[in-house]
Structure 1
Amino acid sequence: MLNFSFRFWCISALLTLLPASAALSAQIAIIIDDVGNNSHRDAAAFGLPISVAISILPHKHLSQKYALMAQEQHREFLLHMPMESMAGIKQESNVLLASMSDKRIVQTLNDAFASVPNALGLNNHMGSRLTQLETPMRTTMSYLHRHGLIFVDSRTTALTQAEAIAKQTKVPALRRHVFLDNELSEAKIERQFNILIKRARKYGRSLAIGHPHMQTIAYLKKRLPTLAQDNVQLIPLSAMLTHQVDNAKPLHIGD
């Protein structure tokens, strides 16, 4: 039987495939990462338009609360799964490691998804080491395939194999093209957002990842309502899956 997350994705995809105005040829999707730690800061992300997806860290004191809040809003949300980085610093206690057996990876994923119930799938938190490695990525993607879940490659390294392995394993997969807020000045966020729009106009659709920083949320609240003026449409993550943009190289790698 299909699990809730996959059914939710199917329904959402169907609902968002309604024809858009011909003028709105450029479409963007946005994920807000790192939700789950901070009640005041993270809650502000839920004030963004419903089409903005949320990615929730597992095993945080607010993980389940925010998963439920997203469901109540009919907002798509992911598990923001910690994965081993090249530096090996500032890693979560429940991080997926290259040294783990297949059985340990599966158990770690089970526990993480249990803490973010009914997530649509996952994207990697950090992971510049793990996403380069074929064996743990195949184990991870096989897990997602069995459970009808999707994968978004945050692309924290240009050497990632994660998206390619996901597609080989028949997991619906996307890649991040732009990081919005590696630098937190409004001017820098606006520059990244403009890159996002430029890429969407060139390739049809483009995906950005941001974080629940005060500056990012404030900018998006101001900017997103004006998209129609620029002939740009904000779409849910599931709608992005219907039109891959594989030839669009991502920018601004970060761990």
Structure 2
Amino acid sequence: MGKRRFVRLPFGLIGTGLLSVVVTTGIVWMMVVDDPLGGEPIAVVPLENSIEGLSQRDIEVVEIRPSLDGEELGPNLRPDEASNRLGPRYELQKPAGQSEITRVDLVNPDPRVIERSGQGYLPTVSNEGLRPLDVYARPVATEFHSIPKIAIIVGGMGLSQTGTENALASLPSDVTLALAPYGANLDRWMQQAREKGHELLLQMPMEPFDFPDNDPGPHTLLISLQEREMVDRFQWLLTRVTNYVGIINQMGARFMSTRPSMQFLFEKLTNRGLMFVDDGTSSRSVAGEVAAETKTPFSGVDVVLDGVPREDEINAKLLQLEGVARARGVAVASSSALPVTIRQLEIWSRDLEERGLQLVPVSATIDR
């Protein structure tokens, strides 16, 4: 039959070799890797990969550049060049015959910056160079220049009594309100808003691309108007209310893409000491370029909050707005006075300072 031969493996030697490799690897790892917390207890916390109500398209990736060279600084960290600033001047000159600087009451228009006309009170620049922008701007605390700043504009004030009352009762005083020129009881809403400390804009209807199918109103500024008619409509709109720092467009995609019309408008605004705000709804707007040429105080909206008026969409836009503010130093948002928008803005603004952000009026964003 013969004898079978059995292979005997040196299991003890193999085990000793493996143990030696493990020990040697551990010693080398501890010598090479610097882990001061090695060996301490750890805890693993599961995190959700998504935020409820948000989708990937709602998150904007922003770039933060830590360089300290010139233009790489954030807008609130750059050297202050007072001679080039177009924003409101809070240090007002003393009126003749007065020993101290005084501001008029918040409700009545300042007689130094109004002009009587057949249509009503028109804003104007005083003989001393005082602008309505200087008089009616809400002062903003600037002790901490590096804090990201956010301006919120709520439009359509005066069109709905319930919506207007809701906005005045719920929103912080640093929120800027835009009055609709065709609204009812505008003087009443202006007075209540000013008493609560809000800064005001006037909405100005301008020609959209699909005019007249989409008609903003009988006094809409059109690119086809003759100069005299353009001035008449412009002045009629300006006299609807007082105490505002500037205007914001209502529609107007076609008008704002036409350079000659915008140049004419901005020259009139500059002569009257007002600012212009681009509501951010037109991608073809040349407002920023023309404002720089005419030296018109200007600010542009970065985020439209309630293009889709749902809570989750508005929250997503607010999150995007915060990201823009942290990356650029200043961000501006616009919205309407819808109940869902006012409710979400009121909730969002409660702990804004605790999150390291500052709410400011829109006039504070002119020189960003």
Q: How far is the alpha carbon of 1:209 from its aligned partner?
A: 0.1
- Any gaps of 5 or more consecutive residues in structure 1? 244-255
What TM-score do you get using the length of structure 1 for normalisation? 0.88
Corresponding position: 1:161 with 2:286? yes
Structure whose alpha-carbon radius of gyration is higher: 2
Partner in structure 1 of residue 260 of structure 2: 135
* Equivalent residues of 2:132, 2:274 under 8 A apart: no
Q: How far is the alpha carbon of 1:8 from its aligned partner?
A: 5.2
* 1:43-192 equivalence runs, <5 A: 43-47=165-169, 48-88=171-211, 89-192=214-317
Q: How far is the alpha carbon of 1:229 from its aligned partner?
A: 2.3
* Equivalent residues of 1:77, 1:119 under 8 A apart: yes
CA distance in 1, matches of 2:234, 2:241: 11
Q: How far is the alpha carbon of 1:163 from its aligned partner?
A: 2.3
* Equivalent residues of 1:102, 1:136 under 8 A apart: no
* Equivalent residues of 2:138, 2:199 under 8 A apart: no
* Secondary structure, counterpart of 2:162 in structure 1: helix
Q: How far is the alpha carbon of 1:74 from its aligned partner?
A: 2.8
Equivalences, count: 241
How big is each residue's C-alpha offset from its partner over 1:194-250, in whole Å with a ceiling of 9 and x where there is no partner?
Answer: 00000000000100001100000000111101112211111111211232xxxxxxx
- Any gaps of 5 or more consecutive residues in structure 2? 1-110, 115-122, 124-129
Partner in structure 2 of residue 223 of structure 1: 348
CA distance in 2, matches of 1:148, 1:223: 33
CA distance in 1, matches of 2:144, 2:165: 30
Percent sequence identity over aligned pairs: 27
CA distance in 2, matches of 1:137, 1:183: 29
Partner in structure 2 of residue 30 of structure 1: 152
Partner in structure 2 of residue 237 of structure 1: 362
CA distance in 2, matches of 1:108, 1:12: 23
CA distance in 2, matches of 1:17, 1:232: 13
* Equivalent residues of 1:83, 1:126 under 8 A apart: yes
Farther-moved stretch of structure 1 (90-99 vs 12-21) = 12-21
Partner in structure 2 of residue 42 of structure 1: 164
How big is each residue's C-alpha offset from its partner over 1:15-58, in whole Å with a ceiling of 9 and x where there is no partner?
Answer: 31431385xx2110000011121111122111211110011111
Q: Which has the higher contact order (CA 8 A, sep 6+)?
A: 1
Q: 1:26 to 1:12 in 2, by over 3 A?
A: farther
CA distance in 1, matches of 2:347, 2:141: 26
How big is each residue's C-alpha offset from its partner over 1:146-203, in whole Å with a ceiling of 9 and x where there is no partner?
Answer: 1000000113211111222122111100001000001111110000000000000000
Partner in structure 2 of residue 197 of structure 1: 322
Q: 1:12 to 1:64 in 2, by over 3 A?
A: closer
Q: How far is the alpha carbon of 1:103 from its aligned partner?
A: 1.9
CA distance in 1, matches of 2:189, 2:254: 28
CA distance in 1, matches of 2:330, 2:297: 16
Q: How far is the alpha carbon of 1:108 from its aligned partner?
A: 1.0
CA distance in 2, matches of 1:64, 1:113: 13
Q: How far is the alpha carbon of 1:60 from its aligned partner?
A: 2.4
* Secondary structure, counterpart of 1:34 in structure 2: strand
CA distance in 2, matches of 1:98, 1:131: 9
How big is each residue's C-alpha offset from its partner over 1:82-125, in whole Å with a ceiling of 9 and x where there is no partner?
Answer: 10111221422221111111222221111111102222110100
Q: 1:43 to 1:173 in 2, by over 3 A?
A: same
CA distance in 1, matches of 2:206, 2:327: 32
Q: 1:92 to 1:163 in 2, by over 3 A?
A: same
* Equivalent residues of 2:113, 2:131 under 8 A apart: yes
* Secondary structure, counterpart of 1:124 in structure 2: strand
Within the candidate set 2, 6, 10, 2:134 is matched to 10
CA distance in 1, matches of 2:202, 2:188: 13
Corresponding position: 1:19 with 2:143? yes
CA distance in 2, matches of 1:72, 1:65: 11
